[in-house]
């Protein structure tokens, strides 16, 4: 198999990622920093997709953490939600850099309306 064949195989199931978009894809899943690619990268629907998804994910889970923190006994669940958000953010970054559009169950639907 030639290198050209391998390159074609890699681009069949994944989006093409430009070098300048890689840092924006990482920022997409870092909380409020997802506003940077959302507002600055207008020419890439792929970066916009991940920026919207990352922003909605962090907002929904962030609001959930605040609400759970207000309830005394249930607030202990917030201790599990923080590390879970970190894991989901890392998975999102990895999939974005691979060129995959990851469908997070409720979050993707909310982000599509955004």
Digit-coded pLDDT (tens) for 87-96: 999 999 999 9
Tokens of 89: 């953010």
Which has the closest alpha carbon to 25: 98, 106, 104?
98
Q: Which residues of the chain have pLDDT under 70?
A: 1-13
Predicted pLDDT of residue 39: 95
3-state helix, strand, coil in the chain (%, to 5): 80, 0, 20
Q: Which residue has the tokens 């409020």?
A: 32
Predicted pLDDT of residue 55: 95
Predicted pLDDT of residue 5: 39
Could you tell me the pTM of the whole model? Answer: 0.80
Which has the closest alpha carbon to 52: 101, 114, 2?
114
Predicted pLDDT of residue 9: 35
């Amino acid at each position: 198999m030639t290198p050209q064949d391998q390159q074609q195989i890699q681009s069949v199931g994944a989006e093409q990622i430009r070098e300048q978009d890689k840092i924006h894809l990482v920022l997409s899943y870092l909380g409020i920093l997802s506003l940077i690619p959302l507002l600055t990268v207008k020419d890439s629907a792929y970066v916009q997709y991940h920026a919207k998804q990352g922003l909605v994910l962090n907002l929904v889970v962030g609001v959930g953490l605040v609400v759970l923190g207000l309830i005394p006994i249930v607030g202990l669940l917030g201790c599990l939600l923080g590390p879970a958000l970190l894991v989901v953010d890392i998975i999102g970054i990895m999939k974005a850099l691979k060129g995959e559009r990851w469908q997070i169950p409720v979050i993707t639907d909310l982000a599509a309306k955004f």
